[in-house]
Amino acid sequence: MPKTILIICLLLFGLGGPWVVKYYSSSESRADAEPAQEMRAPLALESAVVFPKALAIPPFALVDQHNQPFTQAQLQGKWSLFFIGFTFCPDICPTTLNKLSAAYPELSAIAPLQVIFL
């Protein structure tokens, strides 16, 4: 009996495998047929805070990873994305930093940008 079940499972996997490959390859070709990025509607923001006007940043002094001072002078002339997290964070921090890393090249092509991890 167990030998028969094993043979049936192998046949199902053998017949189902080519179908799965065909299905996924056809869905990828459909994705390639979508209109160009410029033609798509812009993505909606999941969460954001938009301030009506720029706020003044009061003087501050922090210390960076090289034990050098980090002040408001390093914020001048570029956009700064502040990410507040933990240096030992098993789930959320690495995932979010990975998303920031993936988005960084495209965002920095639009405007000068820096990501600051606090």
pLDDT tens, residue by residue, 3-25: 666 566 555 555 555 555 555 55
Cα separation, 17 vs 31, whole angstroms: 21
Q: Of 57, 112, 52, which Cα lies nearest the Cα of 104?
A: 112
Look over the chain and give the mean of its residue pLDDT values, rounded to a whole number: 74
Cα separation, 94 vs 96, whole angstroms: 6
Q: Of 84, 86, 85, 78, which Cα lies nearest the Cα of 104?
A: 78
Per residue in 63-85, pLDDT (tens digit) is 988 999 999 899 888 988 888 87
Cα separation, 25 vs 3, whole angstroms: 33
Supply the pLDDT for residue 70.
92
Looking at residue 72, the DSSP 8-state letter turns out to be G
Domain 43-118 has CATH 3.30.43.10: no
Give bridge partners of residue 62 from the DSSP assignment.
Answer: 70
CA distances from 41 to 14, 38, 44 (A): 41, 8, 9
Q: Is the pLDDT of residue 51 over 60?
A: yes
